[in-house]
Structure 1
Amino acid sequence: MTWSFTDSPAVFRAAAGGHLAAEAARNTAVLTLMDTAERLGWWAEPDGRVTGVLAVPPSGAPSFGAVTEEAARALAPAGLLGDERRPAVVRGETAAVEAYAEATGRRWEPTTRMRLFRLGELTPQDPAPEGRARLATEADVPLLAVWTAAFVVAMGHEPAEDYTGLLTERISGQRLRLWEAPDGRPVAMAALSRTIEGQARVHLVFTPSAERGRGYAAGVTEAVSRAARDAGAAQVVLFTDLSNPTSNALYQRLGYRPLTDHLSVTFSG
Structure 2
Amino acid sequence: MEFIRFDDAKRFAVVAEPVVEKQEDVFSLFYGVLQAIKAGKYDNPFMAAIMEGDEVLALLQMTPPHPVNLVIVDESKIDEVIDFIIQELNETAVTVTSVISLKQWATAFAEKWTAYTGEQQKLLMDQGLYRLDQVDETIEMSPGSWRYASMDDHSLVVSWYSKFEDDANLNRTPIERVNDIVKQFIESQEVFLWENEGKVVSMMKKSRPTRNGVTVSLVFTPKEERRKGYARTMVACGSMELLKEYNFCVLYTDMMNPTSNKIYKEIGYKHIADSIHIGFQK
TM-score by length of 1: 0.90
1:16-31 to structure 2, matched below 5 A, reads: 16-31=16-31
**Partners in 2 of 1:29 and 1:133 — Cα distance?**
26
Deviation at 1:85? Answer: 4.7
Distance between the aligned counterparts of 2:242 and 2:102, measured in 1?
Answer: 24
Q: Which moved more, 1:238-247 or 1:21-30?
A: 21-30
CA-atom RMSD, angstroms?
Answer: 2.1
Instruction: Give me the whole-angstrom Cα distance separating, in 1, the residues matched to 2:204 and 2:19.
Output: 29
- Structure 2's unaligned 5+ residue stretches are none
1:74: which partner in 2? 84
Checking the alignment, whether the CA contact within 8 Å between 1:119 and 1:236 is kept in structure 2 is yes
Task: Flag as ranges the 4+ runs of structure 1 deviating above 6 A.
Answer: none
**CA distance in 1 between partners of 2:199 and 2:136 (Å):** 25
Kindly report which structure 2 residues correspond to 1:115-126, keeping only aligned pairs within 5 A, or say none. Answer: 115-124=128-137, 126=139
Q: 1:38 aligns with which of 29, 45, 49?
A: 45
1:82 Cα deviation after fit = 8.0
- CA contact 1:125–1:218 (8 Å) conserved in 2: no
Structure 1 CA distance for aligned equivalents of residues 213 and 228 of structure 2: 29
Counterpart Cα distance in 2 of 1:60 and 1:6: 18
Shift of 1:65: 4.0
TM-score (norm 2): 0.86
Q: CA deviation at 1:117?
A: 0.6
SS state of the match for residue 237, structure 2? helix
Match of 1:224 among 225, 229, 238: 238
Find the counterpart in structure 2 of residue 262 from structure 1.
275
Name the residue aligned to 1:167. 182
Letter in 1 for 2:192: R
Residue 56 of structure 1 aligns to which amino acid in structure 2?
A: M
In structure 1, distance between residues paired with 2:3 and 2:238? 37
For 1:61-108, what per-residue CA distance to the aligned partner results, in whole angstroms no more than 9, with x for missing partners? 31224655514443221x427832552311111111111122231432
Change (3 A) 1:222 1:263: same
Change (3 A) 1:154 1:68: farther
Structure 1 residues 114 and 27 mapped into 2: Cα distance closer, same or farther (>3 Å)?
same
The verdict on how the C-alpha distance between 1:65 and 1:201 changes in structure 2, with shifts beyond 3 A counting, is farther
Distance 1:33 1:17 in 2: 12
Shift of 1:155: 0.8
Structure 1, unmatched stretches of 5+, are none
* Number of residue-to-residue matches in the alignment: 265
Q: Is the 8 A contact 2:33 2:208 kept in 1?
A: no
Question: Which moved further from structure 2: 79-88 or 110-119?
Answer: 79-88
Contact 2:139–2:267, Cα closer than 8 Å, also in 1: no
Indicate yes or no: 2:165 matched with 1:152.
Answer: yes
Cα distance, 1:150–1:67 mapped onto 2, change above 3 Å: farther
Deviation at 1:60, TM superposition (A): 5.5
Amino-acid identity (%): 23
Query: Which of 210, 214, 226 is the equivalent residue of 1:196?
Result: 210
Bigger mean CA offset, 58-67 vs 153-162: 58-67
1:72 & 1:169 partners in 2: Cα distance?
37
CA contact (8 A) 2:166 2:172 kept: yes
Mapped to 2, the partners of 1:121 and 1:25 lie a distance apart of: 15
Structure 1 position 51, deviation (Å): 5.0
- The 3 A distance-change label for structure 1 pair 218 and 23 is same
Pairwise CA distance, 1:24: 1.6
Quick one: distance in 2 between partners of 1:3 and 1:249? Answer: 42
Kindly indicate which of the two structures has a greater share of residues assigned to helix: 2
What is the identity, as a one-letter code, of the residue corresponding to 1:108?
Answer: Q
Structure 2 distance, partners of 1:259, 1:51, is: 23
1:123 match: secondary structure? coil
